[in-house]
Amino acid sequence: MKKIFILTGEPSGDKLASTVVNKLQQNHPDVEYLSVGGSHLNKLGVKSIYDLKQITYIGFTSVILNLFKIRNKINDTAKEIIEFSPDILLSVDSPDFTLRVAKKVKSINPKIIIIHYVAPQVWVWREGRLKNFKKFLDHVLLLFNFEKKYFDRENIKNTFVGHPLLENKENIKTNLSNIIDANKKIISVFAGSRTSETNILLPILLDFIKLMNEKFNEYNFVFHATDQNKDSIKDEVKKINFDNVEVISDENIKSQILSNSIFAVAKSGTVSLEICNAKVPSIIIYKMNFINFFIVKFLVNTKFANIINIINQKEIIPELIQKECNSKEIFRSVVYFLKNPELMKKQIVDVNNTLNEIKSKTSSSSEASAVISNYLST
């Protein structure tokens, strides 16, 4: 029996990995899996060796403060993978964790095929990492076709598979009126999946909602949560005692909520593509402590945070970063869009044109599973 170990480092990676594993299970039902994963992989029957919360650190200072724990976790994870003895190690995103584990695994057992899904963003910063990746990565699955030139340059085997969040999924229809007031318009809110993110962004977003409620009475605000953070977000929402705020973690319901939203306020990250694919206008927000921000500004090669803006080299989706990431600025930006529907339409058109350039021919999960299947067959 063939074995695959799935290595993720945060909830978004768990979600991405699950789309591929779902396809693999259909085509290779006899493969045995083990993972460092979360609720999405768990729903597919893939056991995780520990809770993802143990490794979801964000920012340089957080990593430095937890350096000893992280180093131990890397060593322990590599040991568990070696004991499982997989034919393939599929590492997904979170390169500062997953690729450190992958490198260690390869040094101990070179026979394990290592495939990395979601190429490290060498086009944003630290392009020099490529020479190191070449030593232990057998194949890299690219989300964006413009990344190919970087990996070709170092003769690292790669395949453009597209982004799984750009796939159109069939959802089981749910009567949303049982969840939210059908007479009000929906604004989707994304505070992040990591505790360290929500700790910073949630208070700002709740203040933003307070400002909106003081001015308007026709909106429902829905927080898109994960299974891991829904309870902590609900606890904070209860404190403000608004009757037009909901917290949803069910993937199917979240997808329908987003599709029915007139606008979205989202933490910078992969979720932005999901919002774009749903044809919902949005703004992007992000905030970290000053030291982390200073280091990032020093190291990155791009002035934008959002992938749509990076590809176009101009701001199509507004970004409120650091000091601009406050309740008043978010309020001003959202209200400006709501009062100017032609701007929302233009953003959707511009975004859709960009998405058409970066979508794969079939689906990311199909393309990625095809690459992995080839290795399973050898």
- Domains of the chain are 3-162+360-377 (3.40.50.2000), 176-358 (3.40.50.2000)
For all residues of the chain together, what is the average pLDDT?
Answer: 89
Beta partners for residue 320, in sequence order: 285
CB-facing half-sphere around the CA of 100: CA atoms within 13 A: 13
212 with 331: CB under 8 angstroms? yes
How many Å apart are CA 237 and CA 252, to the nearest integer?
A: 22
Helix (H) or strand (E) holding 252: helix 251-259
> Tokens in use for 227?
């299974």
Confidence of residue 179 (pLDDT cuts 50, 70, 90): confident
- Does residue 152 register a pLDDT over 80? yes
In degrees rounded to 5, what are phi and psi of residue 300?
A: -75, 155
In degrees rounded to 5, what are phi and psi of residue 321?
A: -115, 140
Residues 11-54: tens digit of each pLDDT: 889 988 999 999 999 999 999 999 999 999 999 999 999 998 87
In degrees rounded to 5, what are phi and psi of residue 347?
A: -60, -45
- Does residue 7 register a pLDDT over 60? yes
Residue type, 218: E
Confidence of residue 113 (pLDDT cuts 50, 70, 90): very high
CA angle 350, 225, 355 (to 5 degrees): 20
For 188-217, b/e burial (b = at least 16 CB within 10 A) is bbbbbbbbebbebbbebbbbbbebbbeeee
Task: Give, as one character, the DSSP assignment of residue 123.
Answer: T
60 with 291: CB under 8 angstroms? yes
How many Å apart are CA 33 and CA 88, to the nearest integer?
A: 10
Residues 139-150: tens digit of each pLDDT: 999 988 888 988
